[in-house]
Structure 1
């Protein structure tokens, strides 16, 4: 848009920020004293998140920003923060004219580390420039570097994704049992809850056994049998598994037979 903000002495301008969670939920907030609807999103007033000053530069270094505030808005709760629902969420911060609804986005990024306590929270904002720090040169490794069913792997995600129903739960062991694929196939996989108290969240399978799938995040005591979830099978990233179980050795992204650093420190043996 061509609107230039703060070009005159008095303007009806307020800040706004949007949070796009990975589970598909979108939140809109504004510093104005009433709710504003624009860009197809309702931006709530009196929010629990307040953005700090933004620093934007022409350099390649990551722009700094932070959000903090009290857990006063109903859409942001300590339970959701603790469950990781806001982790790595996409964030937009900008300015809006509360009369004409003209707006401009000043900052794009993602939520980094989130800390909370005593009814308040703080979250680090990671700008889009952080992607420039990514190491795009692959390093050698004995196991596969590609994520299972992701680009580079070549396998079809729907083939190894199953909708299942929770049949049993062990809160002490933090384990769950489903009527889905065999537990051997779920080692290293993940679970995305379709309903229940964890709806929309994803948990990794830390261990799989006949007694159930041990998850990497605490299970809510309100979880009961009958809740649905989507189960994605796992892979131990070894060449033998890639070849025997999946028939996908041609796409293996590793070097299992490359000598390691221990070869340099071996002692010579007398003949």
Structure 2
């Protein structure tokens, strides 16, 4: 047993939502485990894994140094690592094929940046139990355009375009919108340039000009390839007039609310 303890190494695999995967280990040399090469990362230090016996969420933290390696300050600020899936395991570094012990998996939660390092919180799958189990009523639709509840076909509502000009939150494309404010409340996904892999929320659109809710994380060069996805303002009138999808509207616009007595003068 003592030999196993002396030759134990911790490995963790991080998979970003844009498909990028990083595999690291606290050992002093790279390890190959189940066909995956785990790179030695002496500057990344995990805390103890807190495992709960009940339904409380498993948590741990990872502290690391910022640099030009796997975790760069600009990428953390841009949100490239937000919600990334993390799987942890322990191996015998003297013979990685002899035995692999899974320690758990989860997703990256809060990230704190310091002067020359970062601390990332890892939340286990039990954290999903903290979400509300039922929805609150609302006048606006609670579905997302094109999801399983909305059921609007999105195949013809995603279009590729190239950036003609960029200034702050305003992005001008080389093609115009199909209908007025078609991309308002939609998404612009970056397929090229420094922002590749990121997505920006669109506040409104007017012809070929899109106004984003926040400026892109990195500078945008003319000719950058993007994909724009139509949006919806979640109002019943829009659902009926533009999409013809009232049967799947997930809101209660006619349900009286707490402001019922103050809606009309003299009430």
**Equivalent position to 1:58, from 53, 75, 80:** 53
Q: Partners of 1:29 and 1:203 in 2: how far apart?
A: 29
| 1:251 matched to 2:248 | yes
Q: Secondary structure at the match of 2:113?
A: strand
Counterpart in the other structure of 1:24: 19
**Equivalent position to 1:108, from 105, 109, 113:** 105
Deviations 1:69-127 (A, max 9, x none): 21146121111111110011111122112233232221211111112131111111111
After TM superposition, the score normalised by the length of structure 1 is 0.89
The verdict on how the C-alpha distance between 1:252 and 1:221 changes in structure 2, with shifts beyond 3 A counting, is closer
Is the Cα contact below 8 Å between 1:194 and 1:228 reproduced in 2? yes
Counterpart in the other structure of 2:3: 10
| 1:230 matched to 2:227 | yes
Q: Partners of 1:268 and 1:206 in 2: how far apart?
A: 33
Counterpart in the other structure of 2:39: 44
| 1:208 matched to 2:205 | yes
Q: Partners of 1:238 and 1:130 in 2: how far apart?
A: 32
Deviation, 1:202, is: 0.9
Deviations 1:35-79 (A, max 9, x none): 112233221102543221101122001122111121146121111
**1:90-239 alignment runs, 5 A limit:** 90-101=85-96, 102-170=99-167, 173-182=168-177, 184-210=181-207, 212-219=209-216, 222-239=219-236
Q: Partners of 2:204 and 2:230 in 1: how far apart?
A: 12
* Alignment length (residue pairs): 261
Q: Secondary structure at the match of 1:159?
A: helix
Is the Cα contact below 8 Å between 1:162 and 1:180 reproduced in 2? no
**Which 4+ residue blocks in structure 1 deviate beyond 4 angstroms?**
264-270
Q: Secondary structure at the match of 1:22?
A: coil
After TM superposition, the score normalised by the length of structure 2 is 0.90
Q: Secondary structure at the match of 1:149?
A: coil
Tell which deviates more after alignment, 247-256 or 177-186.
177-186
Q: CA RMSD in A?
A: 2.1
Q: Secondary structure at the match of 2:76?
A: helix
Q: Secondary structure at the match of 2:82?
A: coil
